[in-house]
Structure 1
């Protein structure tokens, strides 16, 4: 883990500083032919925004989950994948589908598409992934803020024991990945594939993210964490309970 000492600052300022810390970590681990995976969200945006351009044309970027079609395209997967690839002069693969579709049948039909399968198969080659850690807290849920779910719907997800998600993969605070109805409607990387990626960098902070951070680490969906000192202390305290 990398821990930022938080001075008195707003959530957005803290996230920007975490993004810079995470970006330096990413830069240390990128090689000429690294395959990068990317999810979505403000935390991921801050990491990409803080990366310094360099010439590495053999780098590939793979979008790990479907798009959210948010009001701010800068934080959505397709734009982040394009932007990340441009920083290095590399190539990118986007997943031309929504993150959450209406039914399991729709998802299964999409996954039969050869282009979709190709992108998700490339996710198996990812060396380093940059991901956010979502919460099922209705007031702070990115999926609710993006208009993808209502507060009532995310509360129903929370009622199953889910405390958060990484790449749309929901889990409880013990780190058990949950097979719940929403899982069957998500287009994106599967948990077992994400767990095999050598370096999965999760960036998150704040009181409402504490159970989600602990669950994500316990689930093995994140193996490198960038957070601030206050959040880190709360995660450690919860881990002891």
Structure 2
């Protein structure tokens, strides 16, 4: 008696057992929806509903192997043109801006565990991209790993504060978390200097400089950018840096088109990792989910912050076009 015949002898099942049975037959045994419906005496619509319920409850995981995205023509061209170690390019044809964003974030969440190793000290920036990436990440346990908060805290209206990003990511990776218990920016340079000299903060600042890998997204220089909405920069600050040639924001610092930090009124008042510690790392993972970040992403690539890039086809084409 084959497996399908055996299922027919079982009669009807209900509740979560039915969801599990249907999911097993469909995904593991390779049966089609029609045969499953006949085996259990249910409609095909019910089978579809059971499969959807299984996905929503997290009972099944559907993934595509990384080479499907890292060997993509555009991924290979990005590596060749920009000297990257690897690129992960997801398709985005026919997607809305939000759908495009989520595809890139989920792609980054799928690829990230493959890029990490026991003993890594992963420095993370802040923002919606990193926060949602952590939410999409499956639980892993990477031995002796530490996640480092690279920028101090800020009052953001969105919930994805720097400490929330690093803490959530550490929880997903089964890692220790080293948070930076200080504001991202102070009202005066003297106050910032005094705070950096505090033994607790001094030790934390020294700790975050031990990173060997970096996970980040870039910020834009638009008036509605996160650095503005979080209160790190004022309109006067933004105007100053734009006039000085700012092309984007990396870890709360304005950089020019070549990825160089721009001197200005904010630097002496900020608490966070020095920009020079973010270049030349063994791995810098940049996640770029939208065309609004093309200019800033180009700056990060030129500045030597990036070895690995996660993006979508539309952004990949825009990056290659911007490179000339």
Q: TM-score, normalised by structure 2?
A: 0.68
When residues 117 and 12 of structure 1 are mapped into structure 2, their CA distance, relative to the original with a 3 A threshold, is: farther
Whole-angstrom distance in 2 between the partners of 1:179 and 1:152: 14
Map Cα deviations across residues 34-82 of structure 1 (whole Å, 9 max, x no partner).
2121111011112211211123352211101111221233x11111222
CA deviation after TM superposition for structure 1 residue 238, in Å: 2.0
What is residue 222 of structure 1 aligned with on the other side?
Answer: 306
8 A Cα contact 1:67 1:99, kept in partner: yes
CA deviation after TM superposition for structure 1 residue 121, in Å: 1.6
The question of 1:94 aligning with 2:179 is answered yes
What is residue 238 of structure 1 aligned with on the other side?
Answer: 322
- Which of residues 255, 261, 269 in structure 2 aligns to 1:185? 269
8 A Cα contact 2:124 2:149, kept in partner: yes
What is residue 167 of structure 1 aligned with on the other side?
Answer: 251
When residues 175 and 149 of structure 1 are mapped into structure 2, their CA distance, relative to the original with a 3 A threshold, is: closer
What is residue 110 of structure 2 aligned with on the other side?
Answer: 24
8 A Cα contact 1:48 1:84, kept in partner: yes
Unaligned runs of 5+ in 2: 1-86
CA deviation after TM superposition for structure 1 residue 31, in Å: 1.9
Unaligned runs of 5+ in 1: none
Provide runs of 4+ in structure 1 moved above 6 Å.
none
What is residue 85 of structure 1 aligned with on the other side?
Answer: 170
Q: Which has the larger radius of gyration?
A: 2
Q: Which has the higher contact order (CA 8 A, sep 6+)?
A: 1
What is residue 195 of structure 2 aligned with on the other side?
Answer: 110
Equivalent pairs counted in the alignment come to: 238
Whole-angstrom distance in 2 between the partners of 1:119 and 1:56: 22
CA deviation after TM superposition for structure 1 residue 113, in Å: 1.5
CA deviation after TM superposition for structure 1 residue 152, in Å: 4.7
